[in-house]
Chains A and B, each alone.
Chain A
Amino acid sequence: MRKNELTGALYPVSYYLGLVAMTLGALQLIPALTSLVYREWNILMVFLCTASIALILGLSMMMLGFSRRREKLSFGVGLSVSAGAWGLGMLLCAIPYRLCGNYLSYLDSCFDVMSGLTTTGLTLVQNMDHLSNGVNMWRHLLTFLGGQGMIVLALTFLAKDAGGAYTMYVGEAKDEKLMPNAVSTSKRIWSISMFYLLIGSVVMSLAAFAAGMRGGRAILHGIWIYMSAWSTGGFGPMSQNVLYYHSALFELVTVVFFVIGSFNFALHHAVLSGNRKELVRNIETVTFTVTLTLTASLTALGLMRAHVYPNVMALFRKGFYQLISGHTTTGFMSIYAKQFYYEWGDIALFAITLAMLFGGSACSTAGGFKGIRTGIIFKTFQAEIRQMLQPDSRRREQRIHHIRDIILTDKAVRSAFVIVTAYIITFSIGTLAGMLAGYPLAMAAFESASATGNVGLSIGITAASMPAFLKVTYIIIMWLARLEFMSVLALIAYGLRKVKRSCSQKYW
């Protein structure tokens, strides 16, 4: 790309980034309102300040690029905007955290924002049990927003003129088209989410009532826990996370919501449109069932051998809950972080680390390798082994079922292997960073898997006392993993002014 082409693209880019900034500013009015209702005056002022800053910045950027907003963005630029939006989002959304007094530094604030937006769930907040309702609302709202995707949100506000819409949409690691137009798809995704938000908040609040909570707090906690479950985020309003409620029913309801939340949006769309059989035929649900069973059995084996839990109920509510929370990359915890290391034993830790890496479904709020890739890789192994054992048999065409019957092309297989490898490399770097910071292998690997898979389970490493380089490493890992590498790499490539046209098409 020639120099003037690159700078020329800055105008529409400014328009889209401005749109994102404005959206984020407008969203901050929700926690501001919450603080107003609960008379948390300081927090209200904080949010008014930061919302205004974002609105002013966003409006200015949009006005700058307004005249050239209709220009089509090249694929690479579109991807960069995606990654850039997340970066800008992180910086803007961290300001209220820094000002509210519950975070020790701007870096810690950025960490928490990135953790929220990527629906990871690792947190560096201080004094969570005395956190204002305004800030808690912002924390949970961020994870709900991040789950859907900021680009997706910004696109819903566009009626037309979204020339670069598709590339930006893909840049956020969503390549499922519910509708041909990315803007329509974004709107559809948001409608589905709003619909579930209403129902889910009611159900979750009822569960909170059943656990003994009353009044406004029950409703607030219901809404927040729902947002966190659906977005497979893992944030909770209290320091004990889900353990605070001491309720098996509450935990069960969260499981239902976060499992559903980890499913592919296209699957939701299909089932809601009447195609119920898809639930059992889809390659991702099948793969998920297999890997879940595998890792759960392994976890149970490990826990039983180490005599960690006294009875089946405890094994279920502690062992299985943590495992399925990890596998769906949610991150809700009903035990204390340090208990993983001190009690679980190596086998169970191995199993859960693996589950965190496997992750949930593609095009959902979950992270990890994603079920469709695990499925594709498994099928490919199957085919290769068959070929090895019977070299003379005719090479059969592999098919997978994902909404439609799709022929497994070599390109798709290559893509799956490449992305999974990228995840493994990221995971290894994260583990190395943990060990450089002084932690033992089991702990470093666990926390790295949690960051790489955008999970949120913690073995105790994540704390304000972590060395800064480790915080930065985890921030980058969470960001890379959530956007599935492509858009962040595109951003870096443009930043370095080297254009790579080779990886333009992504299949999975």
Chain B
Amino acid sequence: MYIIIAGCGRVGSALAARLSMEGHNVAVIDPSDENLERLGSGCNCAAVTGLPIDEDVLRQAGIEQADAVIAVTPDDNTNLMAAQIARQLYRVPQVITRAYDSRRKQVFDSFGIDFVCPTDLVADSVFAKLIPGGKKA
């Protein structure tokens, strides 16, 4: 698969490492060179410096042939915009974003974008540890 990861924080770089190890083509976008250095000099992936909402940058990263776009920048709004561009302009088959604020769920759903909410995940995990078998949020 050809996968574009927007945002090279801890999650982004970890995903890049694992996916490229599995043999996928991974391109990582981040405006900061420092963040991209997290990938290491021997990373088996492509690193692109720039904003993930900039179409030139996206095209340079190969969005036209992408099978999936994963938006994991620290900012929810950026993630949403990048996901929208990917989904609607470039018709990328699978788009997954991270959204800290789960109230945005409806917005994402209406665009057909898959999302992962860390806040809910952590809360659920802790809840499960405290009260095993209890009801989830």
A–B contact at 8 Å CB threshold (below):
yes
Residues of B within 8 A of A404 (CB): 60
Instruction: Tell me whether B62 and A164 are in contact (CB under 8 A).
Output: no
B133 at the interface (CB under 8 A from A): no
Stretch at the interface among A48-56, A154-162, A413-421, A486-494: A154-162
Instruction: Tell me whether A162 and B44 are in contact (CB under 8 A).
Output: yes
CA distance A181 to B23 in the complex (A): 7
B26 to chain A, nearest CB (A): 5
Residues of B within 8 A of A167 (CB): 42
Given A72-B42, A74-B42, A75-B41, decide whether A181 and B60 contact each other with a Cβ distance below 8 A: no
Residues of B within 8 A of A163 (CB): 21, 44
CA distance A481 to B70 in the complex (A): 41
- A74, A78, A160, A184: the one contacting B21 at CB < 8 Å is A160
A69-106 residues with Cβ-Cβ distance < 8 A to B are 70, 72-75, 78
A387 to chain B, nearest CB (A): 27
A317 to chain B, nearest CB (A): 45
- A74, A75, A159: the one contacting B23 at CB < 8 Å is A159
Residues of A within 8 A of B2 (CB): 179-180
Residues of B within 8 A of A165 (CB): 44
Instruction: Tell me whether A180 and B62 are in contact (CB under 8 A).
Output: yes
Instruction: Tell me whether A78 and B42 are in contact (CB under 8 A).
Output: yes
A127 at the interface (CB under 8 A from B): no
Residue on B nearest A164 in the bound complex, by CB: B42
A293 at the interface (CB under 8 A from B): no
Residues of B within 8 A of A164 (CB): 42
Residues of B within 8 A of A162 (CB): 21, 23, 44
Instruction: Tell me whether A181 and B42 are in contact (CB under 8 A).
Output: no
Q: Residues of B within 8 Å of A, CB-based: how many?
A: 17
Residue on A nearest B65 in the bound complex, by CB: A179
Residue on B nearest A184 in the bound complex, by CB: B25
A68 at the interface (CB under 8 A from B): no
Given A180-B25, A181-B25, A183-B23, decide whether A505 and B41 contact each other with a Cβ distance below 8 A: yes
B17 to chain A, nearest CB (A): 8
CA distance A70 to B20 in the complex (A): 12
Kindly supply a per-residue 1/0 record for chain B positions 26-51, scoring 1 wherever the CB is within 8 Å of any chain A CB and 0 otherwise.
11000000000000011111100000
Residue on B nearest A182 in the bound complex, by CB: B44
B34 to chain A, nearest CB (A): 15
Residue on A nearest B20 in the bound complex, by CB: A181
Residues of chain B at the chain A interface (Cβ within 8 Å): 2, 20-27, 41-46, 60, 62
If A73-B42, A75-B42, A179-B2 are given as contacts, then 6 extra A-B residue pairs at C-beta distance below 8 Å, sorted by A number, are A160-B22, A161-B21, A179-B25, A180-B26, A181-B23, A181-B26
A/B interface sample: 19 pairs, CB < 8 A: A72-B42, A159-B23, A160-B23, A162-B21, A162-B44, A163-B21, A163-B44, A164-B42, A166-B44, A179-B2, A179-B25, A180-B26, A180-B45, A180-B46, A180-B62, A181-B20, A181-B24, A404-B60, A504-B41
Residues of chain A at the chain B interface (Cβ within 8 Å): 70, 72-75, 78, 158-167, 177, 179-184, 404, 504-505
In the complex, the 4 A-B pairs of residues with the closest C-beta atoms, listed nearest first: A180-B46, A160-B23, A166-B44, A167-B42
